[in-house]
Amino acid sequence: MPKNMAADTIDFKSYLQMSIEFFSAPEIVEQARKERKICGLTFPFSELIIAGGALPVFVPRLNKGRRYDVIKAAIAAKNLLGAGTLAMGFDLLKNVDRSGTVINVAGNLINDIIMSLNETYEAAVKESADLGMPVDHCYGAKALFGLYKKLGHFLDMNFGLDVRCSVFFNFHEALTINKFVKNNFIMDMPYTAGTDAVEFFEKEIWNYIHFQERITGKRFDENKFKNVLELTNQAKKLIKAVYLDIAPGDILPCSPATFSELNGLLVYSQMDYNCRLQRYVDHITQLVQEMHDRIDNTSKRFDATGYPKLIYTPMFGGFEPEIASIADELGARVYYPDWLLYGACEEVKTTGNLVRNYAENLIKFQHGFGLTNEEMGENIIKLAHDMKVDGVIFNEVFGCRTMCTGHRMLKDIIRKKEIDLPVNVITFNNMGDSLGQVKTRVSAMVEMLKGK
């Protein structure tokens, strides 16, 4: 467990609350399926699902894991006491218990829950290999394939969005071929820019809307769609505030390790807004406010002056969670800005033709991934500038033949533009592989940055 993580996690009310909500998906889905259809998804575009009267869910959240008993106890305590009282209770015990036992126990439970999620992915990767998925496919596709095999029966339908990755397209098709999900929709993407591309996406969106209407038996409501967009726009604006306003500063609301874990929570929870959009917006509003309050409180904040700022990307094909612990040990901080990088945090215009506006937003996402590695490299450089980071850890995922060779193009662009932005390439195959080498490479980068 990263140093300092437990001490400032258990009394971080809004973070604790959002974490409990994130891991509560099995309970939420079990209650919701009596009245609503359940729709899986693999990218953070749940607005159409919500507006159509279905419940979006990111499938890995459905796995209960070995420490689900802890989550159920936390849910019960939160329902009985409220998240604020629960956090205050932890904080009081922390102050009374000078031995540190409470901090260690609570912190280890939080760490166990996170590790349990990681173990879920590991088991799913092994199962996908047993099911015959090619071993040279990326970790992310293999993990999702195994998870859909195990949990797909909870879904009434599934929404897949194509990106410039043949493996992910094949993964979406394989869900139908293997009957892991019912009613699978794969939204195709245009490979050009301009008006024709927007019109193509607009037609695809309407095709999905009609598909969803047939399954749910509910008419798509454009007024509800507008309300959903307004809420998700609020959430996106607040998520951007975390990355662009708070993360670049030297005074953080918590330790860098906790902030990294919180980043990870935002990446995963934005997929389906924890299945409860209005509550998610309320919670993330509280989260940003509490961050500012903690920054103003000398006993809560963390002075990260001298801690180099690193971004770790791309992540969606699989990533090494120990990076946060390694950076923490070295006196650095690492951020996970994938959805910001790919344009998934861009707000949707809520006047005029809403479906066309949403199509334009999907185009932004498409260009966020980059139609080419050169475009993706330019996007990484721009985000690094906006976040005021000191370096980039480029996550080269084994099996990715589309995006993860992009670090060569990224370095070429940096050289041509004469930008001072170090890039360190970390090769990822499976969680926990070659951690010694990873630590050596990150350590060299942090030492170099601190020596500037």
DSSP class of 24: T
Q: Looking at the 3D structure of the chain, how many domains does it have?
A: 1
DSSP bridge partners of 392:
311, 423
Domain region containing 129: 5-305+337-371
The pTM of this model reads 0.87
Dihedral pair phi/psi, residue 167, rounded to 5°: -65, -45
| Mean pLDDT, the chain cut into blocks of 10 residues (452 residues total) | 51 79 87 93 95 94 70 51 41 40 45 62 73 71 86 94 77 87 89 82 96 95 96 97 97 90 89 95 96 94 94 81 86 94 95 96 86 86 96 78 73 92 82 79 90 74
CA 221 from centre of chain = 28
- The alpha carbon of residue 281 and the mean position of all alpha carbons in its chain are separated, in whole angstroms, by 16
The predicted pLDDT at position 123 comes to 75
User: What's the pLDDT score for residue 116?
Assistant: 61
Is 413 inside a domain boundary?
Answer: no
Largest Cα separation within the chain, whole Å, is 65
Asked if residue 441 is part of any domain, the answer here is no
pLDDT of 81 reads: 41
Model pLDDT, residue 10: 59
Decide if 281 contacts 235 (C-beta within 8 A). Answer: yes
Does some domain include residue 222?
Answer: yes
How are strands ordered across the β-sheet holding 184-187? Answer: 55-58, 38-41, 157-161, 184-187
**Residue 35 falls within a domain, yes or no?**
yes
Asked, for residue 110, whether it belongs to a domain, the answer is: yes
- CB neighbours of 424 closer than 8 A, spacing ≥ 6? 391, 392, 393, 394, 441, 442, 444, 445
Secondary structure E strands in 307-443: 309-313, 333-335, 391-397, 423-428
User: 452 lies in a domain?
Assistant: no
* 37 inside domain: yes
Residue 262 is assigned to a structural domain of this protein: yes
**DSSP-assigned beta bridge partners for residue 302:** 252
Burial of 56 (0-12, 13-18, 19+ CB in 10 A): buried
Residue 249 confidence (pLDDT):
96
